[in-house]
């Protein structure tokens, strides 16, 4: 999109709308102070924002000593955002309002190894089905979240940390964003799951500007934010904590082709592999019993640790210890105020969190730990949805995008934003 001059009316409309949305300034006097624009101009810009459906009076007034000024609010119900989450073993599709409130959602079992063409088609079908059921012809925008590195500048996947012959590795020349924009006929953004999680965490009320989000899954994903902005890195790989070397063992090779990575000892796949080995050796009656009912999963290990199964406790303690050591280095470099542990059931295991905190406490300076929060993520991984919707809305109301679709009244009807 073309840059917009600060003197352009739509630049000023964007500035006003963003201030109202964030609750920084919500009355004409407050907006005039924040933007240094005259009150007459502020009135015109508010009116423009109201005409495109982004703001409305909330019915109240606020006084700074004289006549009460009308308070304005951002309209979450002005449009909808489609969020499509592509995971290794399932697809999740959600329709939300502009505030991230979920209106409807669906989830289907699906293997990422099915290939790029089949997966894109399946995601599109799930999205179209959800929109049809909700009676929505076109949402204002869509975010496609993928479990790999994304080149934000190009809107395409960057080089993933998986072997060339892996079924989970997609061709880098596939224009996923463009494919969905053409198929759905709406503006589309492609983003990495690992970067959306810290973005969503930043949007939590009271969140600090420096934080780290760790997502426990079959692999360990990390994302970090500094000064209120998500860090991407030179190769878009910032936060790849799962590939930090934490062990000299050479018994299990990582997906990156090396030994000793954090993923090989603390990732969900490694934990389950250790559990299966224990069952084969007859060391865990609890896990052996679980194996009869279903394929072993991290949930079984977490539950086993809660009831005191020795093997499960050992696996949980080892994973937490190794993660704590890796995080300690990140803490020393980035000095975050908050670390959020989310994802699978292990992220909500009290033993895991206790050992993690203890490891970080003995592995970092006291001043780091004393001012550090280590908290659980949302059990439903709400941060991912919040981050995805926030990403779309931030773009939609930014000066260049609002200048493109504002005159026509809807981003869904702006061909320029679908290219």
State yes or no: pLDDT of 371 exceeds 80: yes
pLDDT greater than 90 at residue 17: yes
Spatial separation of the C-alpha atoms in residues 43 and 38, rounded to whole Å:
9
**For 394-411, what is the mean pLDDT?**
94
* 6-10 LR contacts (CB < 8 Å, sep 24+): 8/399, 8/403, 9/44, 9/45, 9/48, 10/48, 10/399, 10/402, 10/403, 10/406
pLDDT given at position 60: 82
Q: What is the pLDDT of residue 166?
A: 61
Give the C-alpha separation, 369 to 356, whole Å.
12
Does 2 have pLDDT greater than 90? no
- Report the distance separating Cα 326 and Cα 328, nearest Å: 5
Look at residue 159 and tell me whether its pLDDT is greater than 90: no
**Mean pLDDT, the chain, whole residue set:** 92
What's the pLDDT score for residue 419?
65
pLDDT at 154: 82
Over residues 312-365, the pLDDT tens digits come to: 999 999 999 999 999 999 999 999 999 999 999 999 999 999 999 999 999 999
At residue 383, the 3 state secondary structure works out as: helix
Cβ-in-10-Å burial (0-12, 13-18, 19+) of 98 comes to buried
- In CATH, the architecture of 9-74 is Orthogonal Bundle (1.10)
pLDDT over 60 (residue 205) = yes
Q: Provide the β-strand partners of residue 221.
A: 215
> Stretch 141-170: mean pLDDT, rounded?
78
**Angle, CA 14 vertex, CA 13 and CA 18 arms, to 5°:** 120
Q: How confident is the model at residue 168 (pLDDT cuts 50, 70, 90)?
A: low
20 has pLDDT over 60: yes
Q: For tokens 């954090």, what's the residue? A: 262
pLDDT exceeds 80 at position 291: yes
> Which segments of the chain belong to CATH 1.10.10.10?
9-74
Q: Is the pLDDT of residue 411 over 80?
A: yes
Asked whether the beta carbons of 59 and 73 are under 8 A apart, the reply is no
Query: In the predicted model, is pLDDT for residue 167 greater than 70?
Result: no
Neighbours of 389 (CB within 10 A): 29
**308's tokens:** 């005191």
Overall CATH class of domain 204-376: alpha beta
What residues contact 410, with CB distance under 8 A and at least 6 apart? 52, 79, 140
Give me the pLDDT at residue 289, please. 94
- pLDDT > 70: what percent of the chain? 96
Minimum mean pLDDT among 67-71, 348-352, 358-362, 405-409: which range? 67-71
Residues whose CB is less than 8 angstroms from the CB of residue 292 and which lie 6 or more positions away in sequence, other chains included: none
Q: What pLDDT score does 163 carry?
A: 53
Do the beta carbons of residue 81 and residue 389 sit within 8 Å? yes
Element (H, E) at 20: helix 9-22
The dotted CATH code for 79-186+382-396 is 3.30.420.40
Q: In Å, what is the CA distance from 375 to each residue of 68, 174, 388?
A: 41, 37, 21
pLDDT digits (tens, 9 = 90+) for 249-273: 888 998 888 899 999 999 999 999 9
First to last CA, the chain: 10
pLDDT digits (tens, 9 = 90+) for 270-290: 999 999 999 999 999 999 999
The proportion of the chain whose per-residue pLDDT surpasses 90, expressed as a percent, equals 78
| Residues recorded for the chain | 419
List where CATH 3.30.420.40 sits in the chain: 79-186+382-396, 204-376
Higher pLDDT, 302 or 69: 302
């Amino acid at each position: 999109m073309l840059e917009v001059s600060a003197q352009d009316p739509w630049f000023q409309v964007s500035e006003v709308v963003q201030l109202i949305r964030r609750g920084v300034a919500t009355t004409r006097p407050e907006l005039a102070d924040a933007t240094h624009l005259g009150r007459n101009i502020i009135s015109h810009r508010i009116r423009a924002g109201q005409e495109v459906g982004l703001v409305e009076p909330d019915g109240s007034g606020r006084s700074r000593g004289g006549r009460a000024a009308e308070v304005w609010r951002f309209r979450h119900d002005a449009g909808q955002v489609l969020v499509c989450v592509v995971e290794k073993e399932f697809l999740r599709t959600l329709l939300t309002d502009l505030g991230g409130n979920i209106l409807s959602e669906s989830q289907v079992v699906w293997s990422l190894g099915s290939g790029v063409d089949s997966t894109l088609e399946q995601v599109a079908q799930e999205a179209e089905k959800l929109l049809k059921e909700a009676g929505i012809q076109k949402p204002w925008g869509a975010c496609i979240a993928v479990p790999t590195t994304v080149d934000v500048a190009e809107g395409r996947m960057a080089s993933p940390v998986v072997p060339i012959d892996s079924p989970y590795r997609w061709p880098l020349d596939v224009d996923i964003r463009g494919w969905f924009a053409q198929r759905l006929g709406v503006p589309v953004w492609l983003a990495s799951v690992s970067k959306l999680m810290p973005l969503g965490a930043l949007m939590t009320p009271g969140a600090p500007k420096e934080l780290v989000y760790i997502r426990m899954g079959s692999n360990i994903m990390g994302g970090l934010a500094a000064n209120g902005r998500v860090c991407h890195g030179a190769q878009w790989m910032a936060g790849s904590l799962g590939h930090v070397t934490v062990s000299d063992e050479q018994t299990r090779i990582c997906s990156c082709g090396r030994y000793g990575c954090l993923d090989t000892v603390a990732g969900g796949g490694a934990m389950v592999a250790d559990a299966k080995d224990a069952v084969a050796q007859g060391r865990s009656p609890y896990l052996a019993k679980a194996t009869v009912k279903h394929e072993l999963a991290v949930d079984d290990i977490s539950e086993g640790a809660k009831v005191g199964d020795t093997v499960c406790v050992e696996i949980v303690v080892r994973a937490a210890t190794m993660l704590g050591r890796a995080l300690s280095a990140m803490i020393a470099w980035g000095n975050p105020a908050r670390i959020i542990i989310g994802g699978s059931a292990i992220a909500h295991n009290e033993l895991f969190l206790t050992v993690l905190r203890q490891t970080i406490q003995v592995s970092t300076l006291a001043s780091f730990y004393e001012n550090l929060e280590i908290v659980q993520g949302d059990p439903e991984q709400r941060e991912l949805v919040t981050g995805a919707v926030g990403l779309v809305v931030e773009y939609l109301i930014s000066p260049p995008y609002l200048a493109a679709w504002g005159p026509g009244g809807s981003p869904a009807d702006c061909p320029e934003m679908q290219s």
